[in-house]
Structure formats: C-alpha cells, structure tokens
Structure 1
Amino acid sequence: MSTLTVSYAEGLRDRLTDPEQAANYLSAALDEGDSEVFLLALRDVAEARGMSEVARTAQLNRENLYRMLSSQGNPRLSSLRSLLEGVGLRLSVEVAPA
C-alpha cells in the first residue's frame, strides 16, 4: 500500500491559492511585527498564484516584484496595494484591542 505525501511547501502553495487562506496567512505574518516576515509571506502568496500572473494583474514589472519581495525589499504603499489587489486581497485598518 502506497502512501501519498505532499511536501510542506506544496501543501502551503495549494492552500495559499485560496484568498481566505492567503488573507489569514498574511494577517498572521503581520501579527509577528517584523516586516521581513510579512514580505516573505507575501512572496509565498505571490508564488502560489504565479509571479508572472500576479505581476501582470497588479500591473507591476516582474523583476521589480521579485526585488520588492526580497529580504532587502522595501515596497512603497502604492506597490503593496497593487500587489495585494493582484492576488485578490486589499489593505484595511482596524481598531487595535485595548
């Protein structure tokens, strides 16, 4: 009897194609309070959707997208908004718990 195994990376990629799962994943990364963690999570989401497709949808240059999501990336708010919209998400602000 054979056992089907899926690597963590494959399973994550599959889950991140679901907008709800992607939003939860990014929210958890934001909760860490480290911008590098958030950029890595955002890169995971973009890779799950396909970087070329995300770049096209977000109207961003693919090379700039990779640079923006690198460990040295420091995306502008407008680029971040475009990228999130390119993966079917958006930024929002909420009241912090007291």
Structure 2
Amino acid sequence: LLLLIIIFMGCYSTLVTNAVTPDFDYRQTISIWFRHLFTFSPDAMLMNHVPLSFKCHILLGFTILACWPFTRLVHVWSVPLSYVNRRYIIYRKHK
C-alpha cells in the first residue's frame, strides 16, 4: 500500500504539479539536494521552494526505506534463482 502511494505521489508530482507550476524545475533543487545527501552535506535551503507534493513523495520514499528491513520486502534481496529448476513437491497423506 505504501509503495502504491509513493508511486501515485510521484506521478501526481510529475504530471499535475508541473502543469500547475511550469516554472519549477526539480533538476535545480531536488536533484542537487539529493546528490548532497549522498555526500552527507544536504542544503535545506534548496528544498524551501519545492512544492508540497514533491516533499511528500520524498518523505514517503524515506519512510519505505526505513521500514524495509522490518517487512517482507527484505526478501527481494534473496532472489530464489534455483526455484525455477527445482523439483515439484509431492504431497502425500500422513498415515
């Protein structure tokens, strides 16, 4: 459910917000802030004039990353490649 909300917020931010505020360019604010986040020096001033929908999308993205280890999503890293080649399981009645 959270992943669907994040996807919806991203689509909403891209389609609706950019149609309402065509002068906003995320490459001049959000992408620079995100790059600085990886170098552990984010500049909060870059996020001042970002529309609320983009901020919600980013916050929800961080939320799913924080919840990831405590959910079933953690199993996405253990891809069962041997699952395709393994034999069928035969169920028998227990006597």
TM-score when normalising by structure 2: 0.29
Could you say which structure has the larger radius of gyration?
A: 2
TM-score when normalising by structure 1: 0.28
